[in-house]
Amino acid sequence: MESWLMIIITLCISFFLKSIFNLLTFSKSNHKNKKLPPGPFPFSAIGCLLWFNADIQLILRDLKTKYGPLINLRIGSLRPSIFVASHSLAYQALVQHSAVFSDRPKDMQTVNSQRVNISFSPYGPLWRLLRRNLTSEIVQPSRVKCYSNARSWALSILIQRLLHAQSDSGQVARLIDHFQHAMFCLLLLMCFGEKIEGVRAKQIEDTQRRWLLSNSRFKKLIKFFPRGLGKIIFKNRWEELVQLQQEQEGIFIPLIQARMTAKSSEKISDGSNQETEDEAKVAPVACYVDTLLNLELPEEKKKLNLGQIISLCSEFLNAATDTTSTSLQWIMANLVKYPSIQEKLYQEICEVVNTGNPNEGKTNIVKEEDVQKMPYLKAVILEGLRRHPPVHLLLPHAVTEEVELNGYAIPKDSTINFMVADIGLDPEVWENPLDFKPDRFLDHDTTEAFDIIGSRDIKMMPFGAGRRVCPGYGLAMLHLEYFVANLIWHFEWKGVDGDDVGLSELQELTVVMKNPLRARVLPRVNQ
């Protein structure tokens, strides 16, 4: 135990000396006469707190009050870490200078060098190939429409789980678990082309979550250590991560191989054939894995290997499951907390559904084409994303060349962090920004006029902006609109007696409710 303590102390001293050396080197560099963004002293504990502390928002807001909307932090590194808390500066960086601000920091990489993904890839040919494949083959509108039956299937899973939980306990506990499971089943189908639910889906979901949490913790631990040294110091954590990675591969490889077999036997179509009750294994439309099997790496001129395909599938499941289910919980929590908003939304849904085709009779589902006719529904979704974005900081960006921002020099390779939550709560843009007021989005001529991705002006940025904007933002909006509309159409949502809906936040993989939503879910009489 004492020897371990001595190692830690030695490493801390070495790190501190390295920080001094870096600072002295930096002061003699070409940037010594240039005006850098303001920030605290480089050796303060703030940098470490920002990296290891789960709740960093209060620290950043204090720094913003003291230093302004552009904050410079250095954590013993030659490269500054800049935090941007202004919507106008975010627009200048991400849209007007998008090419310069579209890279990723060099130390932002997967732990396993054999794996790749879109989110962490440097700005270049590989990133363009992987992103273009996702946007053109999976999340483009015509392809998204092909998965309408899949969304209906996932909705039925969610409704049955809610009904079952309600009948068992009289009140639904931890609604987030049901949201995540239904969304995960949907994404499994879109990713692997196979209907997986129940115990098997839960096993895959648990394995994926444990791997993601372990990977996130390990990357934080080795952040300040030279490459490879962290794996030695934190040997047990590294072995745990390797074991979980092998477990993940054991699950994903058979699913990938099943798609290879399906492709070779020509069971996959362009979506023109409808799925029958007996087709429980192979989906009728191409899934994400199918598109990856056809890709060729731009520089190596060879196909993706299994490890790379597994990494991209893991990214697809994680990015589209956690962010959407988290947003869904926040939106439903506000609809429980504010019954008048819920009732107004329900009345809009009734008006649209009841004025549909009279020959169809009473419908038990809100169709996807119906939600496009509901401006208040879209306003509720937008307000939920503004007030409770699933991530409070975008994944870090890096600049490819020195650039000026707000009169300050941003050195080449600097890390740029965008404070999403603060931008969405700016009182100069939003009146009473802490209030949940969907009507604020009805002030536009149409809700479609609101620029959610900030191509014209950034007022909120739950999906980011510029070239690194979330490629699946359209799919995410559809999923939120579709599920919220149907949850309100099928059920009346009421708070649990004596349990006020709290909106405190907790940082996990996304920013979730500290006290998960609990509600009484009462079937509507129209069902």
DSSP state of 438: G
> In this structure, what token pair is assigned to residue 300?
């190596």
- How many other CB atoms are there within 10 angstroms of residue 73's CB atom? 22
Amino acid letter at 296?
E
Residue in the block written with tokens 């790379």: 308
DSSP string, 215-257: HHHHHHHTTTS-TTHHHHHTHHHHHHHHHHHHHHHHHHHHHHH
∠ CA 398-402-403, nearest 5°, is 90
Please, are residues 369 and 357 in contact by the beta-carbon 8 Å criterion?
no
Local structure of 297: helix, strand or coil: coil
420, 392 contact by CB (below 8 A): yes
With beta carbons less than 8 A apart as the criterion, state whether 526 and 201 touch.
no
Residues 63, 84: Cα–Cα separation, whole Å: 11
Order the strands of the 397-398 sheet from edge to edge: 70-73, 81-84, 415-418, 397-398
313 marked as binding residue: no
Q: What is the DSSP letter of 443?
A: G
The token duo for 503 is 């909106």
User: Residues 330, 331, 333, 338: is their CA dihedral positive or negative?
Assistant: positive
Residue with tokens 């020897």, as numbered in its chain = 3
Buried b vs exposed e over 275-310: b needs ≥16 C-beta within 10 Å? beeeeeebbbbbbbbbbbeebebeeeeeebeebbbb
Annotated binding site for heme: 470
Residue positions forming the annotated binding site:
470
